Amino acid sequence: MIATTSSPPPGPARVVLFVGFPGMCMLDIAGPQTVFWCASKYMEERGLPGYARHTVSVDGGMVQTLEGVGFQTEPLDAFAGVGIDTLVVPGAPDIVAAVARSAPLVDWLRARAAATRRVASVCTGAFLLAAAGLLDGKRAATHWLVCDLLRQTHPSIEVDREAIFVQQGETWTSGGVTAGIDLALAMVEQDCGREVALAVARELVVFVKRPSGHPQLSSMLRAQSTDSPLFDRLHLWIVENLAVVDFSVELLAERMQMSPRNFTRVYKEKTGQTPAKAVENFRLEAARRLLEDSDRNIDQIALQCGFGDEGRMRKTFQRHLQLSPTEYRRRLAAEPGAARGA
């Protein structure tokens, strides 16, 4: 059993409700809870108000997670007259069934959202917000596996299948599972500043930010074979040599001790993409990370990632992201949680 309700710290603490329901994913709710707990600790050490954190459910009492761990919760009715700062709604693997049996919770979310400063979902929790009408006409993120389902069941939502998290005004949605930690860190930075967010990230041994537009799946994960690690060592070699090697099919095939024709066929069969596309994705991801986490100029990044020059890198960014590298970096600087460092 995990008891997660805490006593409010002195002063006008922000009330954060973590909304539980049977079968929810434990990390969806525990990750953000830990971020807000840690932020509260640092704020209180400075004599400042932190977060009054409560885990709630429709009727209160013990709620079992998917993993079989029980969370002790307070009933929603206990907060009828309480000013709520933030609502955090987790997801569940069988989210369609969870939404179907959660009509009272959906109704409560719909009624309380207007009087709540900020509403957030983690992973498939976006489906509960969508059922309450809170995502209509907005851009939203959810787990990459169910993006198409969210788009089909709620066509008014602009589903961003790439983003780690999306902020649309005071509505926040995040991608799969651990993305809830990124979302919570960004909200803490918005509320408490970079210093506190950085302290929390260091204590939890996570990055202080993964920008909201960062893809849920890295290029390495996308390129991994679904049924065999055949090309994993090749991928590592590519990533380690982006700046110095011109990766022709002939060279890659030679590394694998295969003929170019057979290599191209097997690679596409195992990874779902051509070797050239995989190399381009590796270069793009490396460039995005350097734009996010370093102060190198565009020309330096283009050379370090093997694009050769800024023009070629710009064309790749435009093709994949509809942004130039300069625009990508500028957009990052304007985002909540966009402070550099870890």
Question: Which domains are delineated in the chain?
Answer: 2-204 (3.40.50.880), 219-334 (1.10.10.60)
Q: What is the pLDDT of residue 3?
A: 45
Q: What is the pLDDT of residue 229?
A: 72
What is 235-277 written as a DSSP string? HHHHHHTTTT----HHHHHHHTTS-HHHHHHHHHHHHSS-HHH
The answer to whether 228 and 270 have CB atoms below 8 angstroms apart is yes
Has 123 been annotated as catalytic? Answer: yes
Q: Is 196 helix (H, G, I), strand (E, B) or coil?
A: helix
- Amino acid letter at 325? P
Percent helix, percent strand, percent coil in the chain, to nearest 5: 50, 15, 40
Whole-angstrom Cα distance, residue 106 to residue 90? 13
Q: What is the pLDDT of residue 293?
A: 77
Q: What is the pLDDT of residue 297?
A: 93
Catalytic residue, chosen from 25, 123, 147, 305, is 123
> Which residues, 6 or more positions from 23, have their beta carbon under 8 angstroms from its beta carbon?
64, 65, 66, 92, 93, 94, 98
Task: From residue 214, give the alpha-carbon distance in Å to each of 10, 20, 149, 217, 329.
Answer: 37, 27, 21, 9, 12
Q: What is the pLDDT of residue 109?
A: 98
> Which residues, 6 or more positions from 225, have their beta carbon under 8 angstroms from its beta carbon?
231, 232, 270, 271
Q: What is the mean pLDDT of each run of 10 residues along the chain (342 residues)?
A: 46 91 96 96 93 97 95 96 96 95 97 96 97 97 93 95 88 90 92 89 72 50 55 87 87 94 92 90 88 88 92 91 86 55 32
Model's pTM, two decimal places?
0.67
Q: What is the pLDDT of residue 73?
A: 97
Instruction: Return the structure tokens found at 39.
Output: 């932020």
Within 13 Å, how many C-alpha atoms sit on residue 80's CB side?
A: 4
> Would you state the torsion angle of the CA atoms of residues 71, 76, 80, 84, taken in this order, to the nearest 10 degrees?
50
Residue 264 burial by Cβ neighbours in a 10 Å radius (0-12, 13-18, 19+): middle
- DSSP conformation class of 125: G
Task: From residue 102, give the alpha-carbon distance in Å to each of 62, 114, 272.
Answer: 16, 20, 38
